Chain A
Amino acid sequence: MAKVEAKPTAETPRTPDSPRGARLDEALMKPGKYEVTLEHTFKVEVNLLLRNGRWVVVDNAGRGAESHEVIFRMWTYDEMIELKKMATSYDPQKRIHMIDNDLLNRLKVQRLMVSWTFDKDNPRLKLAHVNGVLSDESWGAFIKLQPNIVTYILDEMNRVYEYNG
């Protein structure tokens, strides 16, 4: 997968009169109900049924189906801009900006996936984070899931992140 470097951050608009640093009253204030914090998460439910030796994603957790959950953190507007910048490149021939959706999905999973229940029976699949980013081993565990399961998780994740269903 092509590595796309982040664009240089644009200059901060000049506000010469604005005081520097956070104000004390705001530093003490709790986030408002619309502000995203680490507690703002959503879950993707994956119901799996073993059929002919391979796992099939089914709608409901019926008989014999295994139910799993993947927890994601909601992204803020600022995070969204940063991740999209990292996944966007400019094609000078076509003169258009192109978003590498595979890279964007990878960045979303690496930075916003909090936990899952696939590690319940297998501690090797336990997710680990380094500085808030999924470790390489954990990312490796994610992409080693069956492609249909990975696609389902990504689709459901994007339903919330991109359009909210």
Chain B
Amino acid sequence: MSITADSKKLTPQEMARRNYEILCDPQIVRVKIAVSWFGKLCLPDLNGKQHEEATFKVLTFGDNHVLDKACSYDVQVKENNVVVTTMTVTDLNEYRRLLIRRNLLDWTLDIPIERQGGWMTEECWNRVKNVSAPLMEAFVEQYDTLTSVTKDEEEKIMRQSSILFGKNSRGVMDACEAVSLFCTLGNFWDKFGVGRGVPIQDMPFKEYIMLKMVIGRENESMRVSSSPKKPLTRIAGADGRPRASQGIVMGN
């Protein structure tokens, strides 16, 4: 998975170094944000000349599962003041708080990140939580855009999947990451029995979501093609329209 942030501002040497690091450790996401000091406050600033960097662990299926479980709560659905059903939903705010505790590995800020048992330690969190909200949000926002499927990506996946699983498909040109991943993994498994060799909990959550989208589209197209076919001949109604005539009641 190629994950870079702010790649436009990097020199070729920096890009090469970063790509090498990604190749060696694909489980790492680095985010870099421009900041400025406003008096004693360090805040994100698009025109800022200084930069702060944070290293996160790639959000895996397992991470999402753990965070989801820790943040879920029950909501009672009522109709006319009577409880109809109970739904389990995720508290997205709490999710963002735990995301930092679970996935932040290191950063350039002067608070050392200490971790134990896959989580940030309590003492470390007590300092990290006091970082200004806009600065931390900038890190989390950028991490979020790099590890989740964007709206544009989703549209592209849906469009290309429709073409790929279409009746007279001849494949997709300039395949997006999801379609490419789906086809490559499928082919390797079919021909050589080679899988990714990683348990599902270690699979990057973005890859999981992308593959799930493509598989969903494939299942949909298979369902359509296996459904009973409509008869070739149809009874045409008035004016040759392929539906029954509305009928006109004639007076005597």
Residue ranges of A at the interface with B (Cβ–Cβ < 8 Å): 7-18, 20, 22-23, 26, 31-37, 39-40, 42, 74-81, 84-85, 88, 90, 92, 97, 160-165
Contacts and interface: CB of A to CB of B under 8 A. Distances in A.
Contacts of B77: 92
**Secondary structure class of chain A's binding surface, majority of residues:** loop
Contacts of A81: 93-94, 96-97
B134 A34 contact: no
A34 B42 CA distance: 7
Given A11-B70, A40-B41, A88-B93, A76 B130 contact: yes
Given A8-B73, A22-B123, A160 B43 contact: yes
Contacts of B45: 164-165
A15 B119 contact: yes
Interface of B: 38-45, 70-71, 73, 75, 77, 87, 89, 91-94, 96-98, 100-102, 109-111, 116-117, 119, 121-123, 126-137
A59 to B, nearest CB: 20
**4 pairs of A and B residues whose beta carbons are closest in the complex:** A78-B129, A80-B133, A77-B136, A32-B110
A15 B73 CA distance: 22
A35 B43 contact: no
Contacts of A77: 97, 100, 128-133, 136-137
Given A10-B71, A164-B44, A15 B91 contact: no
20 contacts: A8-B73, A9-B94, A18-B117, A20-B122, A22-B126, A31-B130, A32-B127, A33-B40, A33-B110, A34-B132, A35-B111, A74-B41, A77-B128, A77-B136, A78-B130, A81-B97, A85-B94, A90-B75, A164-B43, A164-B44
A16 B117 CA distance: 8
A34 B127 CA distance: 10
Contacts of A32: 109-111, 127
A18 B136 CA distance: 24
B123 A23 contact: yes
Given A13-B70, A36-B132, 8 more contacts: A13-B102, A33-B110, A42-B39, A77-B100, A78-B97, A92-B75, A97-B92, A160-B43
B131 to A, nearest CB: 5
Contact of A18 (B39, B123, B128): B123
A16 B122 CA distance: 11
A80 B121 CA distance: 21
A77 B107 CA distance: 16
